[in-house]
Chains A and B, each alone.
Chain A
Amino acid sequence: MAEYIIRRVLQALLVLTVMTLLVFFGVNVIGNPVYIFASSECDQACLSAIIADLGLDQPIWRQYLTFVGNLAQGDMGKSFTHGVPALHLIFERLPATLELAFAALVLALVVGLPMGIYAGLRPDGWGAKLVMSFSMVAFSLPVFWIGIIMILTFSVQLGWMPSVGRGDTVDLGFVETSLLTLDGLHHLAMPAFTLSLIMMAMVIRLARAGMREVMFTDYIKFARANGVPERRVLGAHALKNILIPIVTVLGMEFGGVIAFAVVVESIFSWPGVGKMLIDAIAVLDRPLIVAYLICVVFMFVTLNLLVDILYSLLDPRIRLGGGRA
């Protein structure tokens, strides 16, 4: 087990290194950061000073090491529109994004799992066909288009839901959340649902496929033959088996959810990191853009790592049997 975790951590570090290389060379070499810091009336001497100040006269590999060194100390430079450290801004905005993503994840599971299980148990019924059509539509339609239609229907036409921003929040001391106020939940509902649709479609497919497979296994028949009530057979014996692939895929897709949050936050003006990224791109705030990209990649890689470990905990065959087949 320990060996497995160490191997996965090393893999994750490798991916992170590759990604910092990509982002570093992408942003700092293809673009010219000097012009970000130089005002329009900057002459040659002023430019040289900035170049020396940024360390751009150093060889490229040394620049990269400095970049990584600063990264390791949590220094990603100052946002030049806000004038505060970029990382600080990200941490300020991140809770809103995580809250949105978390709500979407919960929605996807709470709605998707029963739908998928139902479709798996009665695969030929019209209910199952309805569920599968929903899953197909939710999966193939662009997220932003669904968001627009939701706003048009529920905010503009019906006037039921707010379409902009986050509602009232409660300060829990370490983080502010809108999950605990009615107004907060009211504001959260549409963005969270929009963001959850892709995951929901995936949960439905996986739950349906898993259920169809599991219901024919001997251990389910054995549990039934022992008189175990159907609720327990489905709720524990079958569910625990189908949850393994679902948790894996959801964990891997969570990075994608954070990325898609960019779209949803833009549409619903949700004050998270995604909205901040789009704003930063509009004004070319490169330190903030780099900080966002590095943070999301870091989160994504960490999540993948955690999922693999969680996966091995859920499946005793992997936990106790060593590596993954």
Chain B
Amino acid sequence: MTPVLELCGLQTSFVTPGATIHALRDLSLSVARGEILGLVGESGSGKSLTGFSINRLISPPGRVTAGEVRLHGQDILPLSEPEMRRLRGRKIAMIFQDPMMTLNPVLRIGTQIRDALLAHERLSDAEIRTRAIAALDEVGIPAPEARLRTYPHQLSGGMRQRVAIAIALLHQPDLVIADEPTTALDVTIQGQILALVQGLCRDRGTALIWISHDLAVVAGLADRIAVMYAGRIVEEGPVDDILDAPAHPYTAGLIASVPVPGQRGGRLQQIPGRMPALTDLPPGCAFAPRCARATAACGTMPPLTPVNEARAVRCIHPLGQEVPA
């Protein structure tokens, strides 16, 4: 069966008269129906940009400069802007990080739902109302009828994120890209939102890309994860395999720096140094300057190499192999 979404060799660049910066390079991944893919990385690794590259909403001067974005096997990059608009919200939906900023502060909730509905369907006012109430009800918003007339600032952060989720799922999209939708919320609310999105996607067979810097969140949610570093995927595979036995030193570092409940007193591991700026990348593996296992061979960029049929890693000296002295 063809995956819902496939990225093949995607390259996104910021092209200015002075310089061209490649923010994403050689990015390939896929998500199947009903699958949850966790896209993990630090800020600046390009994980949010990946989301915007998929539905082509990168702010200028950024644009996709190479590769393919296949939706159900069909490359959508050649589509015209009106054709692309027909996909957004209907086939590919997005949920954003900060629910305070996602909803328009000067439009009523009902108006925002209405606009999203009318973007793809011709409906009467009564139908819009029914659909809107049903959508709010589905995401667990109490008294949804009354909410239609309220403005975003009258709702709590958790409620706003529920509204945003309701809007994103209005047209039963095939793919939802969730860009850290729980980061800005309280921990208890985070759990609720996680469970909500997970439940809705499972029920409908929606493919979900969950973008997060928080490995702990992704570990409990995703089926597979892809780890990004400096604009490239460095490791990819089933979530349990990777968490049990990371192959890339960066993944191992990320796992080691997550606090484990029930283990106190032990020092948390840190990855020394910081991610290099995109303008200032080393010629080979971008992680090499921070890597204890780096050798002279790391001066050339390794390809994403299969470890087994389900996993791949972009490393010359993956963990579990001897480093030549």
Contact = CB atoms under 8 A, between A and B. Distances in A.
A227 B55 CA distance: 10
Contacts of A232: 115, 119
Interface residues of B, number: 36
B119 A226 contact: yes
Contacts of A230: 85
Contacts of B151: 316-317, 320
Interface of B: 52, 55, 57, 59, 85-90, 92-94, 96-98, 101-107, 111-112, 115-116, 119-120, 151, 153-154, 164, 167-168, 170
A241 B120 contact: no
A227 B87 contact: yes
A221 B86 CA distance: 15
Nearest to A317: B153
A133 B188 CA distance: 54
Contacts of A223: 104, 112, 115-116
Given A224-B88, A227-B88, A241-B106, A219 B101 contact: yes
Interface string A212-247: 000011110111111111101000110011001000
B115 A236 contact: yes
Contacts of A236: 107, 111, 115
Main secondary structure of the interface of A (DSSP, over half): helix
Contacts of A320: 151, 153-154
Contacts of A316: 105-106, 151, 153
B89 A241 contact: no
Nearest to A217: B101
A322 interface: no
Contacts of B59: 216
Given A219-B101, A241-B106, A244-B106, A226 B57 contact: no
A226 B96 contact: no
Contacts of B111: 236
A226 B167 contact: yes
A137 B17 CA distance: 30
Nearest to A233: B115
Contacts of B119: 226-229, 232
The 9 closest A-B pairs by CB, nearest first: A227-B89, A226-B89, A218-B101, A227-B88, A225-B94, A227-B119, A316-B151, A226-B116, A219-B104
A254 B316 CA distance: 70
Given A226-B115, A226-B170, 11 more contacts: A218-B101, A221-B96, A222-B102, A227-B88, A227-B120, A228-B116, A229-B119, A237-B104, A316-B105, A316-B153, A317-B105
Interface residues of A, number: 26
A315 interface: yes
Interface of A: 216-219, 221-230, 232, 236-237, 240-241, 244, 314-317, 320-321
Contacts of B52: 221
A315 B93 CA distance: 28
Contacts of B93: 225-226
Nearest to A241: B106
A218 B92 CA distance: 17
A125 to B, nearest CB: 12
A12 to B, nearest CB: 26
A221 B179 CA distance: 12
Nearest to B86: A227
Q: Which of A226, A230, A240 has the most CB of B within 10 A?
A: A226
Nearest to A220: B104
A288 B212 CA distance: 71
A225 B57 contact: yes
Nearest to A222: B102
B168 A226 contact: yes
Contacts of B107: 236-237, 240
Nearest to A232: B115
Nearest to B106: A240
B115 A222 contact: no
Contacts of B103: 219, 222
A225 B153 contact: no
A320 B103 CA distance: 17
A225 B154 CA distance: 24
A27 B294 CA distance: 87
A218 B102 CA distance: 5
Contact of B115 (A216, A228, A317): A228
A222 B55 contact: no
Contacts of B170: 226
B102 A227 contact: no
Contacts of B115: 223, 226, 228, 232, 236-237
